Structure 1
Amino acid sequence: MKITRLETFFVKPRFIFLKIHTDEGICGWGEPTLEGRIQTIAATIGEYEKYLIGQDPTRVEHLWQTLYRSDFYRGGPIACSAISGIEQALWDITGKAYGQPVYKLLGGAVRDKIRMYSGCSNDPEMAKEKVARGFTALKAAPDGPALP
């Protein structure tokens, strides 16, 4: 199996999703979002494409190392966000190729449940609704959203 194409999707208000295609028709999805920098993330993914096309997507760690070490100045939030989304999509492809959920490929379940929170947009009625739905933690921004 080989990677044939990378495709990005912009979703309002400020998100980007990545779809990696393979020659066997298996596609994987990742979310390389860095709020306020989606165009920059898309450009970075475009720069990394030359390292990915034609490669075996199940060699996740090898490709991660290749991408991370490809730049003279490594890391930073933009490069790491792009690589993170690519890695997510590669794991998605690998799980689909082997017919296994990714958590099993990563060593199996660690816990049976996890506490979740929900945003309530500083709206007291929405907060009440979320609590009624079972959320025990809420996220709010007292001064409003930082980004449009």
Structure 2
Amino acid sequence: MPKLARTIRFDESDAQVFSRPAEAGEWAIPGGFEFSNWTEGDLSGKARQAFANGWLSLESFGRATLVAVAQVEEAELEPLARRLADHFVQLYGAPDAEAALPIAREEIAYMVELCADHSPNVLLAVSRELTEAGVRESFRAITPAEAEIDLVAIHGSAD
């Protein structure tokens, strides 16, 4: 069974750092294509945070700081690709969903490949930087045993 990743929220920080935060539990991909034409001038405020380390949800098209690897049914992948293809038409000017579908499938296949060697529940973080050659992405896996308590703890009050 293939693996993909779901957005997670340990606290409300994503709601404060992203213009459009993803809800917990949404399937996600890196979504670096959003930044392909960006320059240093585009990197400020919440846009900088989305660029620097935001995963793209395939449901709300919001951003999340962390995702967790999870098994996905093969039958779920095509509807996700079609949704992403529609997003390419609506936001990026693709001529139509059928023309955008191969690229959407590639994006999802890339994420499946990223998740393939990780066990379920491993957390993934993305980091991006703007280089002369374009956007460079790197990925880091965090196993639950490696996570510091501040990363996984939910802080609240007794009130």
TM-score by shorter chain over 0.5:
no
Please report the TM-score for the alignment, with normalisation by the length of structure 1: 0.29
Specify which structure has the higher proportion of strand: 2
Q: Which has the higher contact order (CA 8 A, sep 6+)?
A: 2
- TM-score w.r.t. length of structure 2: 0.28
